[in-house]
Amino acid sequence: MQRQADGWGSGLLGVVIFSGSLPATRVAVGGFTPLFLTSARAVIAALLGVALLWALRQRRPARADLAPLAIVALGVVVGFPLLTALALQHVTSAHSIVFIGLLPLATALFGVLRGGERPRAAFWLFSLIGSAAVAGFALVQGGPASLTGDLLMLAAILLCGLGYAEGAALSRRLGGWQVISWALVLALPAMAVLAVATRPAAVSGIGGPAWLGLAYVSVFSMLVGFVFWYRGLARGGIAGVGQLQLLQPFLGLALAGLLLGEPVAWSMIVVTGLIVLCVAGAKRFA
């Protein structure tokens, strides 16, 4: 019971950190190309990961762990950051919440396929209701759609769900922060070459918000958040803890209200209450 509670607590902290990822990406692509943003954030996070692995003298992963680590790198180091950065050139961050609402369901599905979990039937009901509530809210609140942006976001969600489930299963053997650190190291050579090839011709015209966005997605979205997220998934269960992602859009909107003074609609409070009930139900039957 203590292990599960610790997993849900770690997972919630990871979701809080991730809640700023899409807005930060939206700001960062105002100054950087999607390819440079994806590669630069991976390189910065990988260097931090290398420092952690070296300082704490972690052993190298076994040969059998390399393929799962490659899947993690493809899903969360390269695939999701690149595809969302490309998508956010076509859709608003508000509209992208439609697809973030599908991420818990995708994570649960891959948790069954890759993590060997078997949630009860009632779990899927709560998961579907929660996903539909988030997507419906985002459709009402979000900006205009784009077929290109929507397809990119859908591909990003599928890759991210796979990377989450694969990394969580691997975390049971290696540990949460070790998994994301080794995945970043595995992707570092290719990402370093891409970062150099796509670097801005001049940095003088890049504003402060874009640099702050890059810093946030590099340190928090790409590394620190995963330390807590993978630990939470591994200890609390991939399918169950993954439903905490339903709260991510509303945490982001709440932060915008607190920090930026943006209005918080009553509909957001109502839908958040419904989401909390769905997460509690999913936890009960996961």
Averaged pLDDT, 229-257 = 78
What is the reported pLDDT for 215?
95
> Which of the pair, 70 or 173, is modelled with greater confidence?
70
Q: What percent of the chain has pLDDT over 90?
A: 32
The reported pLDDT for the residue numbered 139 is 67
Supply the pLDDT for residue 87: 86
In the chain, the amino acid numbered 190 is A
C-alpha 136/C-alpha 113 separation (Å) is 27
Q: What angle do CA 207, 148, 165 make, to 5 degrees?
A: 85
Q: Kindly list the domain boundaries of the chain, sorted by start residue.
A: 2-285
**Mean pLDDT value of segment 251-279:** 65
Q: How far apart are CA 34 and CA 25, in angstroms?
A: 9
Give the mean model confidence (pLDDT) for residues 71-92. 87
Determine the Cα–Cα distance for residues 31 and 200; give it in Å rounded to an integer: 9
Q: What is the mean pLDDT of the chain?
A: 83
pLDDT at 73: 94
pLDDT per position as a tens digit, 262-274: 555 666 667 767 7
Higher pLDDT, 103 or 167: 167
Over the chain, what HEC string results?
CHHHHHHHHHHHHHHHHHCCHHHHHHHHCCCCCHHHHHHHHHHHHHHHHHHHHHHCCCCCCCHHHHHHHHHHHHHHHHHHHHHHHHHCCCCCHHHHHHHHCCHHHHHHHHHHHHHCCCCCHHHHHHHHHHHHHHHHHHHHHCCCCCHHHHHHHHHHHHHHHHHHHHHHHHHHHHCHHHHHHHHHHHHHHHHHHHHHHCCCCCCCCCCHHHHHHHHHHHHHHHHHHHHHHHHHHHHHCHHHHHHHHHHHHHHHHHHHHHHHCCCCCHHHHHHHHHHHHHHHHHHHHC
Calculate mean pLDDT across residues 196-206.
89
pLDDT digits (tens, 9 = 90+) for 106-149: 888 888 877 677 777 777 787 788 777 777 776 676 556 677 88
pLDDT of residue 4: 76
pLDDT at 282: 66
Region 94-114 average pLDDT: 76
As a whole number of angstroms, the distance between CA 171 and CA 154 comes to: 26
Spatial distance between the Cα atoms of 9 and 23, rounded to a whole number of angstroms? 24
Count CB-CB contacts under 10 A for residue 197.
10
pLDDT for res 217: 92
Supply the pLDDT for residue 94: 64
Confidence at 72, pLDDT banded by 50, 70, 90: very high
pLDDT tens digit sequence for 146-181: 778 888 988 998 999 999 889 888 988 888 889 999
Per-residue pLDDT at 262: 52
**Type of residue at 19:** S
Instruction: Record the pTM.
Output: 0.82
Q: Which two tokens mark 215?
A: 């810093």
pLDDT of the residue at 218 = 95
| Confidence check: pLDDT of 102 > 80 | no
> Which pLDDT belongs to residue 105?
80
